Each structure stands twice: as C-alpha cells, then as structure tokens.
C-alpha cells in the first residue's frame, strides 16, 4: 500500500488534472487520500508546497517518458519527429489533459515566485532538450515553440490533428 505522502501526491495529481488547482482544496485531498490532516501537514506546509512537489514529480515523470519514448531513435530527424509522436501518445494516455505546468500557470498569481520558478524550470529544460539535440539555437527554438503550441492546441480542440500537421512542418525544417 502507498505511504500517506504518496497517496497525497497521487490524489492531488488526479484532482489537479480533473478539476484544476484552484478548485481543489486541501480538505478534499486529505479526504480522498484517506490521510489525517496532521499527516498532510507533516509532509507539506501548504497547498503551494504540495503543488511544487506535484510539479517536480510530474517533471521527472514527463521527461522520463519523453526520453524513453525517443531513446531508441538514432536518426536525429526521426528523434525530433518522435517527440511529437510522444505528445500524441500522452494525449491518448491522459485524455488531452494538456500541460500540467501551463494548467497550473493559468491558475496562479504571477507573483507566486515559488511555483512560477518550478514551471519556468520545466519549460527551460524542454527548450534545452531541443537545443541539445539540434545544436542550432534558432531552429531548436522554432521546434520548441511549435511543440508548445501543439500541446495547447491539442488540449483546446481535443485532437491530434495539428500535431500531425506540425510534424510535416518540422520534417521540412530539419535537413
């Protein structure tokens, strides 16, 4: 059986994904995780601290899946195109939930530096992922921006159509 901390994180992850960060209260998390209030506060000082841990766990999970999904590809072009296939895979797996980081960003005040820093770190790492693969700042930023827009558009329209079209654009951009 999962530890109380793990149950809190799993419950928060499910609830943040289904109903959003602001609409999820600590009492609901405590109730659905079947933990005592004292247990919650033993592990997390506040809902913001829980959110930060949720985003850190999500970051690790997401990048591990991305790397695993694309690691078998030797050809650079195929590897980049596979990263877009990864988005399609995640949309199917998570029912077009979108980017957890952007979803949280849309709900927090911009002066919440603690959570904002975690979100910025995730996006910086994604941008770095493409830069390290392509070794061309302009091209990698272009691919990164296309990738990000695919995440948002596929969530908005609950469709992978624009990801498929973007793959064709990316195929033409990479020589």
Phi, psi for residue 24 in degrees, rounded to 5? -105, 120
Lookup result for tokens 């990479």:
174
| Cβ count near 160 (within 10 Å) | 21
89 shares a domain with 152: yes
Q: What is the CATH number of the domain that holds 63?
A: 1.10.357.10
144 shares a domain with 70: yes
Distances (CA, A) of 153 to 33, 34, 146, 163, 164: 32, 36, 10, 9, 12
148 shares a domain with 77: yes
**How high does pLDDT run on average in the chain?**
96
Lookup result for tokens 């659905």:
32
pLDDT band at 126 (very low <50, low <70, confident <90, very high): very high
How many structural domains does the chain have?
A: 2
132 shares a domain with 98: yes
pLDDT for 175 equals: 76
121 shares a domain with 104: yes
Two tokens, residue 116: 């904002």
pLDDT above 70 covers a percentage of the chain that reads: 100
75 shares a domain with 22: no
63 shares a domain with 32: no
- 112 or 175: which leads in pLDDT: 112
38 shares a domain with 56: no
38 shares a domain with 20: yes
121 shares a domain with 38: no
Domain that holds residue 17: 1-44
pLDDT for 130 equals: 97
Two tokens, residue 134: 């392509």
73 shares a domain with 6: no
Instruction: Please report, in angstroms and rounded to a whole number, the separation of the first and last CA atoms in the chain.
Output: 50
Whether pLDDT at 1 is above 90: no
- Spatial neighbors of 167 by CB under 8 A, at least 6 apart, are 81, 84, 85
pLDDT for 83 equals: 97
pLDDT for 161 equals: 98
* Over residues 162-169, mean pLDDT: 98
pLDDT for 23 equals: 97
Q: What are the pLDDT digits (tens) for 18-74? A: 999 999 999 999 999 999 999 999 999 999 999 999 999 999 999 999 999 999 889
Lookup result for tokens 């959110």:
51
- Asked if residues 79 and 73 have their Cβ atoms less than 8 Å apart, the reply is yes
Task: Output b/e per residue, 23-39; b: 16+ Cβ within 10 A.
Answer: ebebeebbebbebeeeb
* Over residues 88-116, mean pLDDT: 96
Burial (CB count within 10 angstroms: exposed 0-12, middle 13-18, buried 19+), residue 157: exposed
38 shares a domain with 60: no
Two tokens, residue 15: 């609830």
Domain boundary (9, 29, 44) is at 44
């Amino acid at each position: 059986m999962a530890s109380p901390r793990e149950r809190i994180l799993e419950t928060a992850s499910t609830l943040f994904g289904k109903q959003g960060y602001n609409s999820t209260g600590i009492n609901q998390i405590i109730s659905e995780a079947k933990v005592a209030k004292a247990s919650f506060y033993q592990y997390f000082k506040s809902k913001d601290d829980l959110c930060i841990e949720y985003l850190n766990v999500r970051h690790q999970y997401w990048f591990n899946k991305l790397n695993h999904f694309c690691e078998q590809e030797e050809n650079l072009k195929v590897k980049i195109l596979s990263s877009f296939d990864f988005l399609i895979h995640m949309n199917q797996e998570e029912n077009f939930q979108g980017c957890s980081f952007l979803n949280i960003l849309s709900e927090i005040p911009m002066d919440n530096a603690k959570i904002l820093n975690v979100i910025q770190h995730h996006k910086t790492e994604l941008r770095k992922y493409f830069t390290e693969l392509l070794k061309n700042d302009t091209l990698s930023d272009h691919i990164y921006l296309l990738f990000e827009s695919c995440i948002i558009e596929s969530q908005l329209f609950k469709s992978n159509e624009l990801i498929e079209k973007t793959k064709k654009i990316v195929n033409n951009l990479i020589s």
